[in-house]
Every structure is written in structure tokens, then in C-alpha cells.
Structure 1
């Protein structure tokens, strides 16, 4: 079976693996604090990783997650020439109602994948399960 790694250069694999690591560490930290709005990690052409979060008016509170997510994607698309790769991270629910951290990874070379990290809240915090990766839908380099 062919995987995304078979079609990606070694540098692209390293870029996406590094962003995934940043994204999952961020998500685990935020889940232990209660949750998080969608954010993005970017890897610029010089190799610097940055966190991008949507801002909103304190008086009106955070907009719906779908609005934040779309706003992030629009901003990333408009600046994509400055990036080698991006990871959009969100706290999501599966159709069966179970909770997952979803990381949508994309590389300028054309790779797109979605990594899901199932989790459950327990009395002691958050327990995560094995990661699952599926082919993703390009949203930044389209």
C-alpha cells in the first residue's frame, strides 16, 4: 500500500513530522487545561515554526470554531508563499460523538494528510489513544 511518505521527499517528511509534534504537544497541554480554539503552526521557508491563532473582540467572546477555522485557512492561503508547511489543529468530534484532536497537515510540495488523536477525559485528566492518519484534503496549496 502506498503512503504519503512514498510520495514525499525526506525534507518534506521531516517538516510534517516536526509540525505534527508541535501540534500534538500544544493540543495535549491545552486539553489538560480544558480545551482550545483552532490554531495553526507554520513552518516558514527559513525553517522557523510559529503559532498562529485567531484574534477576536474580548467583549463579544470567541466566534464559533468553524468561523475561526475558516479565518485561519484564509490567512494561511494568502501567506502560503512564505511557508514550507502548515498544521491546522482543532478539537473535534467524530460522527460517533467521540473526541479527537484533528491535525490537518499540508506541505508546499503537495502532500496533505489528516492525523487524528482520539482522547477521553478522565478524573485524572486526559487519556489519548493511538494516532490515525488518513489522506487529507489540500486547503492551503489548492
Structure 2
């Protein structure tokens, strides 16, 4: 179930991020969660209307929001627009976390022109546990 949840979240988040990029040529961090029933829902952060919407403030609001409801969800993901200097490219970085302690980061490089959006092959690595911080990570012995 863990891998299925994280795969589903990654797919939905990259779809949403690419849609926003194609439409607006940028996006602020977006977050989704898998409910205990298995439904994927967008997490709407609580942002003050007079506060500036910076990527870091929106990401923190996403994190605060998911932490407040973590007992009712089993997985969380957030997509952030990043610069990938080693590839001289932009990227969609997706942080994924499951209630069992699994945390992954999946990054999709992309090239955006006025006419096209080309998304490259993703790379994956271990991620940071930020929501379920008291859960021990699974071992691979």
C-alpha cells in the first residue's frame, strides 16, 4: 500500500504541476494527501490574504496544514518548482512521505518555452521525514 500511495501522489502532483506550468509558466508549492480511505485530496494551506505568497511561506503553510490533520491521512506529497543548477534546468521536486516512515524525493527536470513544456526523466532519492517525525524509517536489511 505504501508504494501505491506514493506512486499515486507523485503522478497526481506532477500532473498538477505541469498543468500549472503550461498555463502560468510557474507555480507555487502544491500539496496533496491520501486519506485513510484512499482518496487523494488537495491540501489547501491557510494563508493570510495580506501576507506575501512566497514559495517558502506556501510550503510552510502546506506543512502546517498537513501536520494538523496527519491522523486522518496516510500519505502526503508536495510539489515545488526548483532550479537544478547541475542540469542547467528547472525542475519539479516532489517530496513524498508515508505514515509508515517512508520518505522520498522525486525530481522531474523540465524545459519550458512559450510553446512547449518538456518534462525529463525523474530521479529519486531518500527524502526528509517532516510530517510523521516520530515514526522510525523502515530498514532494508
TM-score for the superposition, normalised by structure 2: 0.85
Inter-partner Cα distance in structure 2 for 1:95 and 1:77: 31
Tell me the equivalent position of 2:115: 124
Q: Structure 1: 5+ residue runs without aligned partners?
A: 1-10
2:59 equivalent in structure 1: 69
- Within the candidate set 79, 100, 104, 1:113 is matched to 104
Residue among 67, 72, 87 paired with 1:82 = 72
Give the superposed CA RMSD.
1.6
CA contact (8 A) 1:38 1:53 kept: no
**Does the residue aligned with 2:14 lie in a helix, a strand or coil?**
helix
Structure 2 residue runs of 5 or longer lacking an equivalent are: 134-141
Output the TM-score relative to the length of structure 1: 0.84
How many pairs are equivalent? 131
Preserved contact between residue 104 and residue 112 of structure 1 (Cα < 8 Å) = yes
Q: Post-superposition shift, 1:56?
A: 4.2
The aligned residue for residue 91 of structure 1 is 81
Q: State the Cα deviation string for residues 29-87 of structure 1 (Å, max 9, x = none).
A: 111012211111110101111012335455x4752110110111011112111111011
Q: Which of the numbers 40, 46, 49 marks the counterpart of 2:40?
A: 49
